[in-house]
Structures are given as structure tokens and as C-alpha cells.
Amino acid sequence: MSEEIRSGIYAWLREQTDEQRAEYLMSCLAPAPLSDLVTKDFLTAELSRFATKDDLAAELSRFATKDDLAKLEAKVDRLDSKIDSKVDGLDARVTGLETAVAKLDTKVDGLAAQRDEDSKAQRVRHYWLVGIGVSIMVPIWLSVAGVIGAGGVIG
């Protein structure tokens, strides 16, 4: 059955029924041979729907060329080297900071040790001063209280 006959049957079915039923009934028929469907005119019409060489060239001009990609690659390489040099500089600064922090840590540890020693010495000094004060004041208090001295219990 040729495509022309199939088209006629489909048109008649569309007149008699709705589109879905006509599609279903046409699908029940044997398919049209490929030689009837694919003709030179059909292929020309189908290909005319697609882009021409000029259209393709215009579309391709939107995309980057090899030269553009090479320029971009060179720019990326330059930026990479700049970033690497800056990172190296930052690494050196971080190393310097780590050294400075270690020195400060050592100084702080030394100051903390000195503070501990000073605290111990201050405590000992306090005990000595309290002891001396007590040893000087006890006889005075005892004599005032009348425990020692003239007319006292001990004296």
C-alpha cells in the first residue's frame, strides 16, 4: 500500500471518527514500504528544515577557536604561576610566624617560671616578716598584759 493510499484512508477515518481512533486504526495497518516514504523530495524537504553551512558556521563562530583556547591556557598558566609564587611567599611568612610564636612561647614559659619563683619567694618573705613581727610583738603584748616583766608572773 502506497503512502498516498494510506493518506487517503487516514483522511477518510478522520472524517468518520476522532483523531485518536484514526491513529489507532492506522497503526493496525501494515506499515508503508520505505521506498514509498523516502523519496528525493521528501529527503530534500527534511534536510531543508536543518541548518545550512552558513548557519553552522555562524553557530560555530560563537565557540572558541584553537587560538582562543591556547590564549586561555597561557593565561591560566600565568595565573597559576602567580598563585604559586604568592603561596610560596605566604608559606615563608607562615614559617616566620611559627618561629616567632615559638620564641614567644619560650618567653612566656620563662616568665611563668619566674612568676612561680617570685611567688614562692614572696610567700617565704611574708612568713619571715610575720614571724619577725610576732617575735617582736609577743614580748610587748605579754608585758602589757602583765604576764612577764616587773610584777608579772614570770618576772
Q: Which three cell numbers stand for residue 146?
A: 602583765
Q: Using CA atoms, how far apart are residues 83 and 89, in angstroms rounded to an integer?
A: 10
Q: Which three cell numbers stand for residue 110?
A: 620563662
Task: Read off the pLDDT of residues 62-96 as tens digits, 9 standing for 90 and up.
Answer: 777 888 888 889 999 999 999 999 999 999 999 99
Scanning the structure block, which residue is given the C-alpha cell 615563608? 92
Listed residue (46, 25, 34) closest to 1, CA to CA: 34
Scanning the structure block, which residue is given the C-alpha cell 610566624? 97
Q: Using CA atoms, how far apart are residues 33 and 1, in angstroms rounded to an integer?
A: 8
pLDDT of residue 33: 64
**Cβ(112)–Cβ(106) under 8 Å?**
no
Q: Using CA atoms, how far apart are residues 105 and 109, in angstroms rounded to an integer?
A: 6
pLDDT category of residue 37 using cuts at 50, 70 and 90? low
pLDDT category of residue 105 using cuts at 50, 70 and 90? very high
Q: Which three cell numbers stand for residue 43?
A: 529527503
Q: Which three cell numbers stand for residue 136?
A: 617582736
**Cβ(142)–Cβ(148) under 8 Å?**
yes
pTM over 0.75: no
Percent of the chain with pLDDT over 70: 88
Cβ-count burial 9-33 (b if 16+ within 10 Å, e if not): ebeebeeeeeeeebeeeeeeeeeee
pLDDT category of residue 146 using cuts at 50, 70 and 90? confident
The answer to whether the Cα torsion of 78, 79, 84, 87 is positive or negative is: positive
